[in-house]
Amino acid sequence: MPTAIIFVTHLVLGYAAWLLCFGAYVWPWLRSMDGVAAQRVIATLHSFRFFGLVFILPGVVSPDLPAGFATFAAYGDFATGVLAMLALLTVRIRPLFWPLVVAFNVVGTVDLIVDYYHAIQADLPAHAGLLGGTYAIPVIYVPLLMITHVAAFYLLVRPQQDAVRAIPDGATAS
């Protein structure tokens, strides 16, 4: 089977698996929280995006990995991770927290969209082996990141009265 088909299959199935998991477990949980708590959960996940710098780490990916893809992906992930950490650090300073939540979601979403564009331009699916050990990032981690960005934007614009607070004994109240 050609490398490109394997890569695209992995990517599509990564989205499918995460959407199933997210819809069954994560989305109901996030919707039961108030806006700040839900955004903190999402920011915590995205705070690990500093790991994207691995795309420019010699010896981890092939030196033949297109620089146009690797460099933008690395620094876009790094910027998103730092913004997510700043959001977490400012959770008690709401005038800083909310703009940082918007910033890490905008920067992170743009990063992923541009990474997809660069990957297509560089024909990365046909050369997915150049990713080395980082292969799992675009096929397992990126789908979850994109899904949580969409969820974060939805949660930012939903009316707060739609949020349901979870009560410890399992009952809920609006």
pLDDT for residue 161: 55
By three-state DSSP, how is residue 166 classified? strand
Q: Which amino acid is at 123?
A: D
Who's near 97: CB < 8 A, 6+ residues apart? Answer: 36, 39, 87, 90, 91
Instruction: Look up the domain containing 53 and give its range.
Output: 3-164
Q: Based on the structure, what is the number of domains in the chain? A: 1
CA 84-44-76 angle, to 5 degrees, is: 40
170 occurs within a structural domain: no
Residue-level pLDDT at 117? 95
Question: Is 112 part of a structural domain of the chain?
Answer: yes
Confidence at residue 158, expressed as pLDDT on a 0 to 100 scale: 85
Question: Does the residue 171 lie in any domain?
Answer: no
172 in any annotated domain = no
Give pLDDT tens digits along the chain (174 positions).
889 999 999 999 999 999 999 999 999 999 999 999 999 999 999 999 999 999 999 889 998 888 788 999 999 999 999 999 999 999 999 999 999 999 999 999 999 999 999 999 999 999 999 999 899 999 999 999 999 999 999 999 987 654 444 444 554 444
Within-domain flag for 169: no
149/123 Cα distance (integer angstroms): 25
This model's pTM is above 0.85? yes
Q: Is 174 part of a structural domain of the chain?
A: no
pLDDT at position 163 is: 46
Q: Which residue shows structure tokens 């940082």?
A: 100
- Terminal Cα distance for the chain, rounded: 52
C-alpha 159, offset from chain centre: 24
Residue 173 lies in a domain: no
- Residue 114 inside a domain? The answer is yes
